[in-house]
Structure formats: structure tokens, C-alpha cells
């Protein structure tokens, strides 16, 4: 929960600053941004690391596709410098740094500005941690901005290195698609982990309804909402791209975006399903608690109903009246025991018929 509230808090801290002021609002650990560039050409692939922001523009050359990866956002001035090289609107720079954006796409003519959210499941707390990935998609280049090291994309980079020439001839739209696809595929993993948690909690709750399970269930519910918040607007973004919203997306690549759209819809489906299941498990829990109460009360009632009359009877013959004829009878004691056993037996029969025991 701290994560989510933190996101808006940072946004809140900015209140009062003039719009367009670049301030990093995320929570990634402090470190210097590392900027690298990947020149993808049909015949080869050149990598440049630790670039200065001012020189990045040089690596964008006609006939090649350049992928600039900005890993870390702690030096707003660097991001700003990079943005100026590529002629980005001040509000784009601001949105890259203010990492509480919802997934969105903005068309600035020359380039598209895309925001998506990368999710990780924090093992310790069992909650989803959300991070912003911003993409600037120009004609010959893609710039991707990451709060932390983009582990997910390492695989993608590797594949470009190893890929056949064919893939390397694709344009920046295909590269953007691959980045988004990697992010969305990761949502499936998260969804699976959450779904496993729900199932585990269902079993736990059926066996022993405890407060901890409830808190864990609340955690899963919160994570599912976080997942939905990442996917739902992304679906619209991808839909817009697929429907030919921008000239930067080639018609030939649209089936890929349609596929991505389908994936987003599928995740939404899983999320809605899981939310429904969480609600069901919650109901199950409440039922368990109240059935258990019923059971406890039945035990109490059975015990009390049997022993209260008996205690009364023995109390009667514990009275000290001088004139109590039964006390002198020879078989008085035995008769009392008989009465006691009979009452107990009748009670037990009655409870059995009421299906209480």
C-alpha cells in the first residue's frame, strides 16, 4: 500500500511548482543514469554504452534503427538535455520523470510518447510493485526510459543480437511493439503468481480461518487492482495504435499490435476472474467463521442443557431441611442416579434428533 500512496504523494509534493518543471518523483534507489544506444542495421548491430545525453542524437542515422536505453532517472538535467536533443516537448520530459503516469499515448507528430507500467511482485510483502517505462517512438529511433535496470529487456536485446537479418530490417514500430510485448508477457507471470496465492489462501481458509489469511487476501486484492490499473489503459493505448492512430505505425505491423491488444484483454479477463474468486474466498472465509461459531455454541448449549438440570437435582438433595422424606429412603440415592441418567439420555436423544451432535 505504501507504494501506491507514495506515488500520488510525490505528485503532491510537486504541487505549486510551475508545470513543466522536471523532478523525478519515483522511489528507485539513488544512482547515476546510464544511457546506452543500440544501432540495429540489417547487416550488423553496434552497441554504445555510457553515453552523454548530448551525444545521443548522433547515433540516429538514416537506414538504421537506433534504440536508446535510459536506465535510471535520478538526474533530471540529463533527461532534459536528452529531451532537448530530440526536440521533446517539456511536458513529455516532465511526464517521464513524474513516474505516476497512467499508461497513455500522446501523438506529437514527429514522435509518439508512450507510457507503460512494468510490474514486479515483491516476494517479501506479496504485493505488486509498479514502475514506469516511457517510450519515445520516432521514425528511426526508440528511446526507452526506465526507473531501475530493465532486466526484462535484457533478453530482448540479446535476441536482437542473435536475430536473423529479417528482424533487423523492421522499423521502430516493431521495436516498440517488442518492448510492450515483453512488458505485457510479464503481466501473465504476475497474474499466475497471484492466482496461485488465491488458491493457496482458499485451501488455508477452508482448513483454518485466521486473521493472517484475510490480510493476505486483502494484499492479493490490492495487487490485482494494481495489475488492472496497468493493463486497462494500456489496452486503449495499443488499440489506438492498432487502429492506425499514427503514421509512425506501419500497416504491416498492425497484426502484432492486434495480438498485443488481445493479450491485454486476456489479462483483464484473468484479473476480473481472480477478483471474483477473491470475493468468493472472502465469502467462504466469513462462512467458515460463522459456521465455527455455530459449532462452538452448539457444544456450549449441549453441555449446559445437560448439566444444568442435573446440578439442580443434586442441589435439591443437598438441602438441609429436617423433613425431607426422600433422604431417609433406602434406595433414594439410587433413584436419583436413575433419574439423572434418564434425563441425560433423553437430552442426548433430543440433540441427536436435532442433529446438533
The set of residues, in sequence order, having a beta carbon less than 8 Å from that of 257 and lying 6+ positions away, is: 177, 238, 241, 242, 249
DSSP 194-236: HHHHHHHHHHHHHH---HHHHHHHHHHHHHHHHHHHHHHHHHH
DSSP 322: S
Interface pattern 93-112 for its own copies (x via CB under 8 A): -xx----xxx-x-x------
Q: Does 121 bind its own copies (CB under 8 A)?
A: no
* Least gap, CB of 52 to its own copies (angstroms): 27
Residue with Cβ nearer its own copies (48 or 186): 186
Q: Does 286 bind its own copies (CB under 8 A)?
A: yes
Task: Assign 347 to helix, strand or coil.
Answer: helix
* Least gap, CB of 12 to its own copies (angstroms): 4
Which residue's C-alpha cell is 528482424? 167
Residue with Cβ nearer its own copies (185 or 247): 185
b/e sequence 244-280, b meaning 16+ C-beta within 10 Å = eebebbeeebbebbeebbebbeebbebbeebbebbee
Binding residues for its own copies restricted to 209-228, rule: CB under 8 A: 209, 211, 214-215, 218, 221-222, 225
Residue with Cβ nearer its own copies (48 or 313): 313
Given a contact cutoff of 8 angstroms between Cβ atoms, the answer to whether 105 and 240 are in contact is yes
Q: Does 288 bind its own copies (CB under 8 A)?
A: yes
DSSP 283-321: HHHHHHHHHHHHHHHHHHHHHHHHHHHHHHHHHHTT---
Q: Does 125 bind its own copies (CB under 8 A)?
A: no
Binding residues for its own copies restricted to 167-186, rule: CB under 8 A: 167, 177-178, 181-182, 185-186
Binding residues for its own copies restricted to 255-274, rule: CB under 8 A: 255-256, 258-259, 262-263, 265-267, 269-270, 273
CB atoms within 10 A of CB 233: 19
Number of residues that bind its own copies (CB under 8 A): 116
* Least gap, CB of 64 to its own copies (angstroms): 21
* Least gap, CB of 92 to its own copies (angstroms): 9
Residue with Cβ nearer its own copies (110 or 185): 185
| CA–CA separation, 276 and 299 (whole Å) | 35
* Least gap, CB of 242 to its own copies (angstroms): 11
Binding residues for its own copies restricted to 20-79, rule: CB under 8 A: none
Residue with Cβ nearer its own copies (59 or 170): 170
Task: Assign 147 to helix, strand or coil.
Answer: coil
Residues in the chain: 357
Strand order in the sheet with 45-48: 45-48, 34-40, 65-71, 141-146, 128-137, 112-121, 104-107
- Which three cell numbers, joined as nine digits, stand for 69? 536505453
Q: Of these, 42, 239, 245, 332, which contacts its own copies (CB under 8 A)? A: 332
Q: Of these, 42, 236, 348, 356, which contacts its own copies (CB under 8 A)? A: 356
* Least gap, CB of 332 to its own copies (angstroms): 5
* Least gap, CB of 55 to its own copies (angstroms): 28
* Least gap, CB of 325 to its own copies (angstroms): 8
Q: Does 338 bind its own copies (CB under 8 A)?
A: no
Q: Does 327 bind its own copies (CB under 8 A)?
A: yes
Q: Does 336 bind its own copies (CB under 8 A)?
A: yes
DSSP 121: E
- Which three cell numbers, joined as nine digits, stand for 312? 439442580
Q: Does 341 bind its own copies (CB under 8 A)?
A: no
Amino acid at each position: 500500500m505504501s507504494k501506491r500512496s507514495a506515488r500520488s504523494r510525490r505528485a503532491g509534493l510537486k504541487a505549486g511548482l510551475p508545470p513543466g518543471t522536471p523532478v523525478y518523483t519515483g522511489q528507485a534507489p539513488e544512482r547515476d543514469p546510464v544511457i546506452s544506444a543500440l544501432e540495429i542495421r540489417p547487416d550488423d548491430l553496434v552497441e554504445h554504452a555510457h553515453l552523454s545525453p548530448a551525444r545521443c542524437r548522433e547515433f540516429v542515422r538514416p537506414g538504421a534503427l537506433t534504440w536508446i536505453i535510459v536506465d535510471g532517472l535520478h538526474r533530471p538535467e540529463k533527461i532534459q538535455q536528452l529531451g532537448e536533443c530530440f526536440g521533446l516537448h517539456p511536458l513529455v520530459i516532465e511526464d517521464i520523470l513524474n513516474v505516476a503516469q497512467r499508461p497513455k499515448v500522446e501523438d506529437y507528430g514527429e514522435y509518439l510518447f508512450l507510457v507503460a507500467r512494468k510490474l514486479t511482485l515483491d516476494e517479501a510483502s506479496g504485493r505488486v510493485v509498479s514502475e514506469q517505462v516511457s517510450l519515445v517512438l520516432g521514425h528511426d529511433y526508440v528511446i526507452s526510459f526506465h526507473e531501475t535496470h530493465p532486466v526484462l529487456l535484457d533478453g530482448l536485446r540479446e535476441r536482437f543480437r542473435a536475430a536473423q537479418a529479417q528482424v533487423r530490417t523492421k522499423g521502430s514500430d516493431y521495436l516498440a511493439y517488442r518492448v510492450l510485448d515483453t512488458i505485457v508477457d510479464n503481466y501473465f507471470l504476475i497474474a499466475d503468481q497471484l492466482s496461485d496465492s488465491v488458491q493457496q489462501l482458499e485451501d488455508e481458509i477452508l482448513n483454518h480461518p485466521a486473521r493472517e489469511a484475510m490480510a493476505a487476501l486483502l494484499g492479493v486484492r490490492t495487487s490485482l487492482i494494481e495489475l488492472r490499473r496497468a493493463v486497462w489503459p494500456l489496452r486503449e493505448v495499443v488499440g489506438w495504435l492498432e487502429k492506425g492512430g499514427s503514421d509512425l505505425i506501419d500497416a504491416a505491423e498492425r497484426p502484432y499490435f492486434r495480438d498485443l491488444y488481445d493479450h491485454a484483454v486476456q489479462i483483464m479477463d484473468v484479473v476480473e476472474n481472480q477478483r471474483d474468486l477473491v470475493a468468493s474466498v472472502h465469502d467462504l472465509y466469513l462462512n467458515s467463521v460463522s459456521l465455527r461459531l455455530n459449532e462452538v455454541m452448539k457444544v456450549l448449549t449441549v453441555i449446559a442443557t445437560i448439566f444444568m438440570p442435573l446440578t439442580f437435582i443434586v442441589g435439591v438433595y443437598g438441602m438441609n431441611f429436617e423433613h425431607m422424606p426422600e433422604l431417609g429412603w433406602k434406595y433414594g440415592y439410587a433413584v436419583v442416579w436413575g433419574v439423572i441418567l434418564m434425563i441425560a439420555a433423553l437430552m442426548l436423544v433430543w440433540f441427536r434428533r436435532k442433529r446438533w451432535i
